[in-house]
Amino acid sequence: MDLQTQKNRVRELHELLNQYNYEYYVLDHPSVPDAEYDRLIKELIGIETQYPDLKTADSPSQRVGGEVLDVFEKVEHRVPMLSLGNAFGPQDLRDFDRRIRQVVGDDFSYICELKIDGLAVSLRYDNGVFIQGATRGDGTVGEDITANLKTIGSMPLRLSEEIAIEVRGEAFMPKRSFEALNKVKNEKGEEPFANPRNAAAGSLRQLDPKIASSRALDIFLYGIAGAENANITSHSEGLSWLDSLGFKTNKERQNCADIDSVIQFVESWVEKRPNLPYEIDGIVIKVDSLRQQEILGTTAKSPRWAIAYKFPAEEVVTTLIDIELNVGRTGVITPTAILEPVRVAGSTVGRASLHNEDLIREKDIRLGDQVVVKKAGDIIPEVVNVLVERRTGEEKVFQMPTSCPECESELVRLEEEVALRCINPKCPAQIREGLIHFVSRNAMNIEGLGEKVISQLFSESLIHDVADIYKLTREQLIGLERMGEKSIQNLLAAIDGSKENSLEKLLFGLGIRHVGAKAAKTLAQHFETIDCLAEATEVELTAVNEIGEKMASSIVTYFAKDEVNELIQELKLASVNMVYKGPKRVLAEDSNSFFNGKTVVLTGKLEHLNRNEAKEKIEALGGNVAGSVSKKTNLVIAGADAGSKLTKAEELGIEIWDEVKMIEELNK
């Protein structure tokens, strides 16, 4: 055949295979046998092998699984992937409804959708072709899992329209796929996945796409983050449009005129939930009108126009076998119940937190008791109560120790604290937990240094403090379990790359008491170098916005220790960055910027800067970027297709700029 004939055949195969994919995975109504599909995909791969230039990114052959990756690249979301506030009962829903009415009045409706228990993802298409997919991550930055998402048969690689669009969805593992996967794992003697959610997340984070392909994942799309020429006025219209583009949306959704209808819908699914072929953990309720959504706006973490109703936790009875004590990085002793493994809310539970000694006494929990266990919010296992009537007399009262289970130092209970604490700074457990915290995602984020690897390095005496991480060599790592040449190369590269992190990552990683991730950034932004922070007095620290006396005292105490100063010097010798690299916030008295002290709202599509870039630049000049327009707003920046925020600003007489004027002012 000549090249043109092959091109025509490839086009025909694309159309046929995409049609069969859609019928099989989305409509659940295949029109041809599996053997016919396999024959056509084999023919397509054969042509693409012979004519590589005919292989395109949207080819059905690309679902088979691409090359093995070395690492997942980071992806910054153009529109943040916010989390949802939770409701746990009808009154929470009525309170949500009341808050909506206070802002938009009584003329609105809701749309209710099943809350799929999977992994939130963001998908980008250009000219109708899938170009990138990412995990939610921290909501601002996720991981590029494009190759793995391509293996999901229900996710279109090409849309029915040649448009640019970014959509959000939930990738999940159907119950049938989950059971089949765990059957294979059990046969191989491997640890089975605890639940379909973990299985889906683990599958999509495989560096080898062929593994993801073998897991038979699925996906439902539930929202549009941005689209060109989208003439949509409601969320329900948006879902119908997604259907027409070839996406798979969940059809078990319902428009509700009022909150009573919402509650009725929620209660109906509490009963029907077990009959679904996939796991759900609640119902998502949204205001349907996009204009009203924009008026309601968002908080820093979640939209005000949506809420997730979490199903009542499933309760089961099991035996409490033992109570295990764990020492945290701050020395707090946390008791954990060891349970006879039991299935609860979709996963097998063998442990549950008991929080502290007072809770054990309050609930009169004894070794050998029959206890009621539930998952709070379908996530955290907890012991609800003891079935005292089932006691046989053989149960034993648990006694908290007086010495640390790790280092045998005397335990103390500090003033106003309910927890027992080990205050030995050389306690091995505290050091190990501190190391795990140092490499975690919100701290130094060293890929490949998880809890198991850190514990192994610590037990082998290869690391004693965080500075030792930067002294690790290939020779030290090569003999460790599951450490091949490639893993070692990747790990050493990740360690080396973490040296370039901005100061706030290091500050949070050091584990200074009372200093969380947000406070670490505030401190780094204000003092700019670790030396300046180390020299700061309590008075200077409390002068910083959001830094209180307790935190200030903790910081001064921390940097006064000789061992801390020695550690900082070792990190400096290892070339770990000690300087803040982010945008610098100008102090009010030092700023001549127009934005200083102003509350600014961004609306519409910006062409030259994305929302996060504009927000950082404005805040660096002393401004505050808010999510919604109010009487306190000083300025609205309106991009293309600005909607109700612009209308409200005009009604309130608020100053309005376009993006060009904003950039001119930013560059002054």
Count of alpha carbons within 13 Å of 18, Cβ hemisphere only?
18
Q: What are the backbone dihedrals phi and psi of residue 104, each rounded to the nearest 5 degrees, phi first? A: -110, 0
CA nearest 312: which of 351, 271, 353, 278? 271
CB 148 within 8 Å of CB 203: yes
Q: How far are the Cα atoms of 171, 343, 346 from residue 175, in angstroms, in the given order?
A: 13, 15, 10
Q: How far are the Cα atoms of 475, 496, 564 from residue 500, in angstroms, in the given order?
A: 24, 8, 21
Q: How far are the Cα atoms of 503, 532, 533, 549, 637 from residue 540, in angstroms, in the given order?
A: 19, 11, 10, 11, 35
CB 307 within 8 Å of CB 287: no
Structure tokens at 105: 């009045």
Q: How far are the Cα atoms of 4, 104, 293, 600, 603 from residue 297, in angstroms, in the given order?
A: 53, 11, 6, 14, 11
**Is the backbone of residue 72 left (phi > 0), alpha (psi -120 to 50) or beta?**
beta
CA nearest 90: which of 315, 254, 261, 252? 261
Residue type, 44: L
Structure tokens at 241: 């449009």
| H or E stretch at 222 | strand 218-227
Cα–Cα distance measured from residue 375 to residue 382, given in angstroms and rounded to the nearest whole number? 6
Structure tokens at 370: 């029959």
| H or E stretch at 218 | strand 218-227
Residue 498 DSSP SS3: helix
Q: Please list, in sequence order, all residues whose beta carbon lies within 8 angstroms of the beta carbon of residue 560, skipping any fewer than 6 positions away.
A: none
Q: How far are the Cα atoms of 197, 337, 466, 649 from residue 347, in angstroms, in the given order?
A: 9, 17, 35, 49
| H or E stretch at 607 | none
Cα–Cα distance measured from residue 137 to residue 131, given in angstroms and rounded to the nearest whole number? 19
Residue 3: burial class (beta carbons within 10 Å; 0-12, 13-18, 19+)? exposed
Q: How far are the Cα atoms of 169, 627, 629, 639 from residue 632, in angstroms, in the given order?
A: 35, 12, 8, 21
Cα–Cα distance measured from residue 446 to residue 435, given in angstroms and rounded to the nearest whole number? 11
Looking up tokens 């090409």 gives 158
Cα–Cα distance measured from residue 337 to residue 325, given in angstroms and rounded to the nearest whole number? 9
Q: What are the backbone dihedrals phi and psi of residue 374, each rounded to the nearest 5 degrees, phi first? A: -140, 170
β-bridge pairing 370-376 and 599-603: unpaired
521 is catalytic: no
Q: Which of 115, 248, 521, 648 is catalytic?
A: 115
CB atoms within 10 A of CB 296: 21
Structure tokens at 10: 């490839």
Cα–Cα distance measured from residue 424 to residue 330, given in angstroms and rounded to the nearest whole number? 10
Number of H helices, E strands in the chain: 25, 24
| H or E stretch at 526 | helix 517-527
- Residue 170 pairs in a beta bridge with 120, 220
Looking up tokens 């119908």 gives 240
CB 442 within 8 Å of CB 509: no
Active site residues: 115
